[in-house]
Structure 1
């Protein structure tokens, strides 16, 4: 169990680096030249960042504040993606319990690591359309006491409405990284989905 806890701590540290808006960990990058701030995907990203910054006004992130920010993330889709092929091989009950655990995990990460956006200014610098329902929104983040902008890219997809499905920082797409980490947990536990649920719920 000690080994499992250590693995989970490393996983959470990876996630905190950028998957849930910890802007302080992202790489330095120059300001891009073009932007399409009126694109629906861009508007979603700026709204999400604004909600996160506003939530930090009193330095305390409540469950409700975290859930409001996460309402712009397609948690169901991200949770399903992180299981890869395993998703199709588990029961409907296991799928439901896993998504519930993943949602709690995401909220806890948000509350614990949101401080990276305290006082930040987030500006859309580019929107890379990948089709009518898929876009990469590139942003520059300026935080208090840091003169150099930092770059974050947001994968945004439309399924009825636009939602965030991944975030890139330091050349890492974090949902993809998380999928690999979750796969390692499953491999270590002979594919036992309950072991993964327990890991991300603890």
Structure 2
């Protein structure tokens, strides 16, 4: 029996996040204390605020919001790196044809996941509260989302890498869960249970994983 990928299994996944230190990007360190990086903080403040602003904009239609969110994701995230990361060990054996098909369906699926989780906050502003330099060019930026229907500021952490002189987000921690790490574990488990058949995961994302239902 194959396992349907799920982006959010907080109880089980919180423990898993700590166990993935050998993953492609490495497990994020705790975002507390240590040196700060002003460049990384400025990047997250401007780009992530745009994401929050798009989700909070009540003047756009759903189609307009999805299009704006798509563009904002390209400015914020290293989409190719994340796409490769979530495949885990299978990134080394995926065929070019499978990679092209997976990249297309994962992009739609991932946008739905991030839009769902960040949209749950119904916030209107984002403020950087600090950052931690894991190593040069690898920083976790802490923020709080407030305003709108948020009764009290809620934390969101962003892991950003600087490659080629440009910052890009490679993971986001929402409600204590690193989303890309969680997706990697779910996707690898699904492929494992399918006997290593990557097409099974691609098919599941095509059929039902593209727009996750908003959590209550």
**TM-score under structure 1 normalisation?**
0.76
Residues 170/114 of structure 1: CA separation in 2 closer, same or farther (3 Å cut): closer
Match of 2:156 in 1: 152
Is the Cα–Cα contact under 8 Å of residues 127 and 138 in structure 1 kept in the other structure? yes
CA contact (8 A) 2:123 2:149 kept: no
Q: 1:140 — aligned with what?
A: 144
Deviation at 1:111, TM superposition (A): 4.9
For 2:106, which of 93, 102, 107 is the aligned residue?
102
Q: Could you say what secondary structure the match of 1:98 adopts? A: helix
Structure 1: stretches of 5+ with no match in the other structure: 16-31
1:93 to 87, 94, 97: 97
Equivalent residue in structure 2 for 1:190, among 165, 189, 195? 195
Q: 1:108 to 1:141 in 2, by over 3 A?
A: closer
1:49 is the counterpart of 2:54: no
For residues 33 and 88 of structure 1, the distance between their equivalents in structure 2, rounded to whole angstroms, comes to 36
Could you tell me how far apart the structure 1 residues matched to 2:169 and 2:122 are?
21
Structural RMSD (CA) = 2.8
Q: Which residue of 1 is the match for residue 38 of structure 2?
A: 39
Structure 2 unaligned regions, length at least 5: 11-31, 208-216
* Partner in structure 1 of residue 78 of structure 2: 74
Cα deviation for residue 148 of structure 1 reads: 2.4
C-alpha distance in structure 2 between counterparts of 1:188 and 1:163, whole Å = 32
Contact 2:7 2:182 (C-alpha < 8 Å) held by counterparts: no
Give the one of 164, 174, 184 matched to 1:179.
184
The answer to which of 185-194 and 169-178 deviates more is 169-178
Q: Residues of 2 paired with 1:59 and 1:105: CA distance?
A: 21
C-alpha change, 1:60 and 1:109, in structure 2 (3 Å) is farther
Structure 2 distance, partners of 1:144, 1:33, is 29
Instruction: Write 1 or 2 for the structure with the bigger share of helix.
Output: 1
